[in-house]
Amino acid sequence: MYSSTEVWIIAIVAVIVGSAVGFFINRYLNPLPRRGREFEEQLHALQEQHKNYRYDVNAHFNNTAELLGHLANSYREVHNHLARGAIDLCDPGAVKLLKLLPEQAPVLEEQLAAAIEPPRDYALRSPYDKGVLDEDFGLDKARGGAITEPPRYL
């Protein structure tokens, strides 16, 4: 038979060889580490794509704001041209609404400030009154009494 020393040496060598073979099999045949790298690459690509998308959105809105500014200036120029023509060509009392717009102020800022107010049909007259859109608005409760329920069928 084998001596105990030989058994121990064979066991240690078998463990070392088995560990090495298991490591290499796991390393080259297991797709998970490669898939992890693929997922990381996909994540980085998506993050880069998202960053480019955000840049494009910011550029789009900056360009839109600039174009709207040009549009407002063009509108102001056309309006002022019409106003100057009306002042020069029409009777002084005939043109009341067409006035020159200031060059520095936004086109509709003053007009919008005066025109914006809450809708009146939603507003309550007092905290205890009901508004126009309330279900009971305008119904006289003293005249009809209680509303009867329709008959129930069993």
Name the 3-class secondary structure at 70: helix
**Region of residue 86 (phi > 0: left; psi between -120 and 50: alpha; otherwise: beta):** alpha
List of E strands, the chain: none
pLDDT at 54: 94
pLDDT at 53: 95
pLDDT at 63: 94
Stated pTM of the model: 0.41
Amino acid (one-letter) located at 129? D
pLDDT at 103: 72
Spatial contact of 86 and 98, defined as CB atoms under 8 Å apart: yes
Spatial contact of 83 and 98, defined as CB atoms under 8 Å apart: yes
pLDDT at 82: 87
Question: Cα(32)–Cα(77) distance, rounded to whole angstroms?
Answer: 67
Q: In 3D, which of 113, 116, 97 has the Cα closest to residue 105?
A: 113
pLDDT at 96: 72
Q: In 3D, which of 107, 84, 85, 83 has the Cα closest to residue 97?
A: 83
- pLDDT, mean of each 10-residue run, the chain (154 residues): 83 93 80 74 94 94 93 89 85 73 62 62 62 64 62 72
Question: Cα(22)–Cα(16) distance, rounded to whole angstroms?
Answer: 10
pLDDT at 131: 65
Question: Cα(41)–Cα(38) distance, rounded to whole angstroms?
Answer: 5
Spatial contact of 133 and 122, defined as CB atoms under 8 Å apart: yes
Tokens at residue 46, please?
A: 């998506």
